[in-house]
Structure 1
Amino acid sequence: MSTALREVETVSRERKRRTRSRTISRLNPLVVSTLQPHEYDLDPACISLVCPSCRTWVPIRVAATERATAKLVPHHTEPAGTEDPVRCPGSHRLVVINVDRETWRHRLEEGVAETNGRRSDRVVRKPQAKPAPAVMQILAGTVDDKTARKLDEAHVRGCSICSVRDDKGRTLRATDVASRCADGRRLAQLAAHTKRLAPARRKAQLDREDWNDRWAWGMRLLHEQQWDQHAKKVGDADLQRVDDALAALIQTLNPHKADAPQLTDWERADLMSAITLLATRQEQLKRRRR
């Protein structure tokens, strides 16, 4: 009987599985429900989450029994292959998985659907490119009547189609507008158009110049009125500043204390020159106040 009992005890028993390491991080347990749905993955094939300490995806070691707790696997903060890596303080941190897998999947699908709904599916048409204006149309608003006439005359002198010439090749006159080339017709139309609008353009230019003169005169008058309001205070301040500087220089030149340092001839000459300039400035300010 004792032999049979001894044989039974020597047979290895099936032990309950537990995590490989008993080390537990000093950080508070990480509750999965406090994380965003996209920060953890409850798929049994790759259950993991984003470590709050290093913001990297770390697998979760889950035990098969209910008594054992889930923990983050040990991991480093540097990339793989780095010499002397530093272990993340979130290693061996306890994890409380209080979210159902189906609930997590449902929340993740709702978030994806909401994000897709915010994306606009409106087709934005590319604006149609308008044809570029001709050179004559661009010049019409920039040249005056004199410039347009000179351009027309230069074209007539250089174009054999737009000019009538004698036997020696000298230009006598310009041909009719209908007989000219394309550029000649455009230049003739531009010269006629600017000549017709020249009086109105000159009048508008004169009106702008007159308005600018009136505006400058009004601003000058406003500046003078504002200066008259503060001229007395500014003059008093300037005069007081000159008086203070002049008094300080005179005191330096003639000190009241007997043991004051004596000035050299060069220093005394510089002080006399500065006193003379300040006295002249003081006299000028007093004349302005009168």
Structure 2
Amino acid sequence: MSITAAMPTAKKRPRRTRTKQVSPLPAIQLSKLLPSHIDLRKPLKAVLICTDCETWVPITGMQGKVQKLVPHHTGKASAAAAIRCRSSNRLVDFDLTIPEWQRALTDADKEASSRQATTVLPKAFSPQTDRTLRAREERTPAGRVADWAAVLPRVADADEARRAVPAGDAPAEARSVPQQHLTVQRPAC
């Protein structure tokens, strides 16, 4: 398909958001953020994690006088409702230089790597537990059937003893059951 003069062409849009609006919230100070929440590796394309919606947001106006967060939404793209974050157009206070940020980032990296867990060793078994577990491993289905067959006569004897009713209406050693109805009487005041 060839392009003709009658076909509309898209207008060239500005690469950065250029708005004079500023958020009424106080400016974000880079020194108060975690070094891992800031990315100043490419100073003209600096980004940071928004303190309200916790998404990575570019900083606009890096070559100008006023640096602020780009207007952005709170949810993920195409997954949540498009709700404007209240930190959109919020001023950014660069009270941290790039070498200071790099130093803080390497210090944080060293601290985080020193906190990582070492190899977890399993807890040793007690001798009794060890014997029980080994005995379970050594048992076979045929051995289990033989063990159950050996126990069955004793189980049958216990069931018979439970079914037996003593002679008479009450056991000989027990107190007799009261036959009269007991009522609670209130003391006279």
* TM-score for both structures, normalised by structure 1: 0.37
User: Amino acid of the residue matched to residue 51 of structure 1?
Assistant: C
Within 2, Cα distance between the matches of 1:119 and 1:64?
39
Alignment counterpart, residue 112 of structure 2, candidates 110, 115, 120:
115
What code does the residue aligned with 1:108 have? L
Aligned to 2:42: 44
Which residue identity lines up with residue 84 of structure 2 in the other structure? R
Matched, 1:240 2:180: no
Structure 1 or 2: more helix by fraction: 1
1:28-67 to 2 correspondence within 5 Å? 28-44=26-42, 46-65=45-64
Q: Relative to 1, partners in 2 of residues 1:24 and 1:115: Cα closer, same or farther, differing over 3 Å?
A: same
CA 1:42 to 1:60, structure 2 compared with 1: closer, same or farther past 3 Å? Answer: same
Structure 1 residues 23 and 120, CA, compared in 2 at 3 Å: closer, same or farther?
closer
**1:1-290 → structure 2 map (5 Å cutoff):** 20-44=18-42, 46-65=45-64, 68-81=65-78, 85-122=82-119, 124=121, 131-132=134-135, 133=138, 135=143, 238-240=184-186
SS in 1 for 2:185: helix
The structure number with the bigger radius of gyration is 1
- Conserved 8 A contact 1:19-1:63: no
Distance 2:82 2:74 in 1: 7
Q: Which residue identity does 2:118 align to in structure 1?
A: D
Name the amino acid aligned to 2:49.
Answer: V
Decide whether the 8 Å contact of 2:23 with 2:88 is kept in 1.
Answer: yes
For the aligned residues, what is the CA RMSD? 3.7
In structure 1, the residue matched to 2:160 is none
- SS at 2:58 equivalent: strand
Does the 8 Å contact 1:24/1:94 carry over to 2?
A: yes
Asked if structure 2 preserves the Cα contact closer than 8 Å seen for 1:37 and 1:108, the reply is yes
Deviation at 1:126, TM superposition (A): 9.0
CA deviation after TM superposition for structure 1 residue 37, in Å: 1.4
